[in-house]
Amino acid sequence: MRTDAAEVLDSAIPVLAKDRAASMQVIAARAGISRATLVRHFPTRKHLVQAMAEKILDDCDRVLAQDEVEADAAPMEQVLGALVAEYTPFAQLWNLVYVDPDVSGLPEASTRAKAIFVRTVKLMERGQNSGLLRGDMPATWLASTFCGLAETAWELTLEGHMGARQAPDFINAILLHGATA
């Protein structure tokens, strides 16, 4: 049974992604923990949702910071590969924070989510400037596509329709080559 706060949070995020209205009892049951364990770490649903939003935003910041440092020294294909390999927080961001910023009840979460998206757009622009990504598409579209693909891959993985190791390859293939044969 999961008892560490980080483990509890990690198990609650997919539950809230599928059912934003889930009660604490439902979250605990679906996450495979007792309600007492959940409440010990997150006394109210608001505390849980705030912690979830902060974790997702922090994870995205961490991944982007690594990629931004590498973008100056490493080939863009490697930088994009690192972003795609760490797609899960972007899937969660897109699913839980960016598209529905009121889910967290934190205006600063919405502001941070928008800033993360802007940084993702800039990374896509670097990919375009390097010739790796199509230059005829707006970088905003490419960033949105990445986030949408990440969300789809995450959901398919959670539902057992795709293996966790397949997801980055799926995202990379569609992002770089489209859906053509």
pLDDT digits 0-9 by tens, 157-175: 988 999 888 999 999 999 9
Under a CB-based contact definition with an 8 Å cutoff, are residues 112 and 101 in contact? no
Model pTM score:
0.84
Give the mean model confidence (pLDDT) for residues 77-89.
88
* Average pLDDT score over the chain: 86
Contact between 120 and 143 (Cβ < 8 Å): yes
What pLDDT is recorded for position 93? 81
Inter-CA distances, 33 with 45, 54, 129, 153, 154, Å: 15, 21, 48, 25, 22
pLDDT tens profile 20-70:
888 999 999 988 888 998 999 999 988 888 888 888 889 999 999 888 887
pLDDT beyond 90 at 140: yes
Residue 143 has pLDDT above 90, yes or no: yes
Residue-level pLDDT at 101 = 54
45-51 long-range contacts, Cβ below 8 Å, gap at least 24?
46/105, 48/9, 48/12, 48/16, 48/24, 49/16, 49/103, 49/104, 49/105, 50/104, 50/105, 50/106, 50/109, 51/5, 51/9
Nearest to 5 by CA among 31, 40, 32: 40
Residue with tokens 């998206």: 117
SS (H, E, C) 115-136: HHHHHHHHHHHHHHHCCCCCCC
Question: Which among 24, 102, 108, 99 has a CA at the least distance from the CA of 58?
Answer: 108
pLDDT of residue 18: 82
